[in-house]
Chains A and B, each alone.
Chain A
Amino acid sequence: MRKLFNRNRKLYHYIILIFLVISFNFFLPRLLPGNPLVNIMGEDISLLTMEEREAVIERYNLNDSIFKQYTTYLRNLVTLNWGTSYSKKQPISSVLWAAAPWTLLLAFSNLVISTLIGIYLGTKAGLKRRKKEDVYLLSGISFISSMPSFWLGMIFISVFSVNLGWFPIYGGYSMWQNYTGISKVIDVLRHLFLPLSTLVILSISNIFLPMRYALIEVMGEDFVFMAKAKGIPQSIIRYKYIVRNALLPVFTVFMLRVGYIFSGSVVIETVFAYPGLGRIMYDAISTRDYPLIQYSFLLISLMVILSNYITDLLYPLIDPRVVNQHENT
């Protein structure tokens, strides 16, 4: 019973958060000083004809009371009636729905792969602290992660796509081929490979460094020393005692990283012309398509909150004590 409540309490927090984000998205442009029309449509309203202006005022019910506007906004939000993107000449919802899967694919693959590699290498380095292997890994990864992402991406394109021709130069799939089934999957993976590799290479250090540090901390703990005194085999001490305990602080870092999951997307998707949300945002900003910017941010915020919620639910898998506490108290 209590457990249920605890889980639900977490859910309530997230629901409140989502509500705040959605409301913020509505009130922010309206709270800014000046003509709300400018804040909703951008500085270019002088270019609009009178009818277009009327249409926008009509569309956003700018003549209604703020409460009425708000309820209309909520209804439109839920019914995916998000208005039209001026630069794309398409409904905003369909623009974003088409882009979101690509960003999710790229960002989640990166999150999972770079975390696993980071944990693996961090473990390797930590267990061999101050030995050759550790020094090489530490300096190598610190060096690599200091490279600018657009630069690394461009190097990859010029080497692997242009010169060697191993991978496509741009896009998320081959637009002019009608692949189906397994060949479609391969096509998507081939397009994914370079942008994903760039992101992964630059993200490894985010987990590698905390993992290595946590491992070294745990190795110095009394209970690890005691495990040796108890004659427990080396491999069990290594994984069940050291790595498992080191994963706890690393999971906290991981949870924080989930909040930044889409942060690399804009640059990488732009460099590789990848059809995701980052790319859309870049386009929207450069064409000052305010409604599109607004809803992209909203969608990304919602996706971040959802990812955080999922990670929160995963925590008991890493630390059994959390579940137990709820059961017994």
Chain B
Amino acid sequence: MEPILKVEELKVWYGEKCKGDIIKGVSFDLNLGETLGIRGRSGSGKSTIAWAVMGMMSHLKGGMEGSILLDGKNIGNLTEKEYKKVRWKEIAIVPQAAMNSFHPMMKIKDSIGEILKIHCKITDKKQMQDKCEELMEIAHLDKKVLSYYPHKMSGGMKQRAAIAMALACEPKLLILDEATTGLDVLTEAEVLRVVKNLQRRNNMSILLISHDPRLVEVLCDKTIYIEEGVIVDHSTYHEADLLEAKAV
């Protein structure tokens, strides 16, 4: 089977290239409808990989090398303009800093509506409202949250709203960067269950970044473990986890 995402010899850096790479030649692939877990300690470069796949390195004042094939097409060397068409329709992300990712003066329904309008060409009011409500259900949020401004929402609510937003255009590839970290266990389980259902329905592929080995074990078909920008392990449980367990 042709993988939906195939990353080869990915090198990523911030600032000048000569200062050294943060990601030092990483390769992995992800099949259609499957989930790949990315694990690693804080600062190992997980989020960096996510942003490189989103084509955001130039906005982070960095750069990348290597190839990123989405559906067989190399998106690693697209121009900013071309990448705009890939983002959110093909790949969407729930960022680690989901809390701060909303326009502070826009209601949630307007933030989601904006995306529906730009990427899905939905302009009909009724259709938009229906879609927004459906997304709220997926994210396990009350409908009335749609008319909230971000400052009135708790951290967990914002995180779930960010998940709703990422699913708005039914992307082929969904990147979840610690998307449920900080939610209580029940809500986390519920949100992930719905995402999982959606994955099955749409045949969506997921890149799941998490520090939680149990989550990765349950949800992922494959795992990579990153250490200082290189893949050091492909098993769900890494030796660090065993050390950690001992320490506890």
Contacts and interface: CB of A to CB of B under 8 A. Distances in A.
Interface string A221-254: 1110111111111001000110011000000000
A312 interface: no
Contact of A222 (B56, B87, B101): B101
B151 A321 contact: yes
B59 interface: yes
Given A222-B97, A324-B149, A231 B103 contact: no
A319 interface: yes
Contact of A223 (B85, B88, B103, B115): B103
A221 to B, nearest CB: 7
Given A222-B101, A244-B105, A229 B93 contact: yes
Interface string A148-192: 000000000000000000000000000000000000000000000
B104 A229 contact: no
Given A221-B100, A225-B59, A231 B84 contact: yes
A214 to B, nearest CB: 13
A320 interface: yes
A321 B101 CA distance: 17
A287 B104 CA distance: 55
B1 interface: no
B89 to A, nearest CB: 7
A233 B149 contact: no
Contact of A321 (B118, B149, B165): B149
A245 B104 contact: yes
B237 interface: no
Interface in B150-199: 151-152, 165
Contacts of A320: 105, 149
Contacts of B104: 223, 245, 321
A233 B84 contact: yes
For this complex, into which size category does the number of interface residues on chain B fall? Answer: 20 to 34
B151 A230 contact: no
B118 A232 contact: yes
Given A321-B149, A321-B151, A227 B118 contact: no
Contact of B103 (A227, A319, A328): A227
Contacts of A321: 104-105, 149, 151
Nearest to A241: B103
Contacts of A223: 100-104
A155 B37 CA distance: 71
Contacts of B103: 223, 227, 240-241, 245
B112 to A, nearest CB: 11
B119 interface: yes
B154 to A, nearest CB: 15
B95 interface: yes
B227 interface: no
B216 interface: no
B165 to A, nearest CB: 8
B54 interface: yes
Interface in B97-123: 97, 100-105, 114-115, 118-119
Contacts of A244: 105
Interface in A8-46: none
A71 B95 CA distance: 67
Contacts of B119: 231
Contact of A232 (B51, B97, B101, B114): B114
A288 B89 CA distance: 75
A2 to B, nearest CB: 16
Contacts of A236: 114
Contacts of A328: 152
A233 B87 CA distance: 11
Nearest to B81: A234
Given A223-B103, A232-B118, A320-B149, 10 more contacts: A223-B102, A226-B95, A227-B103, A229-B56, A230-B88, A230-B165, A231-B84, A231-B88, A231-B119, A245-B104
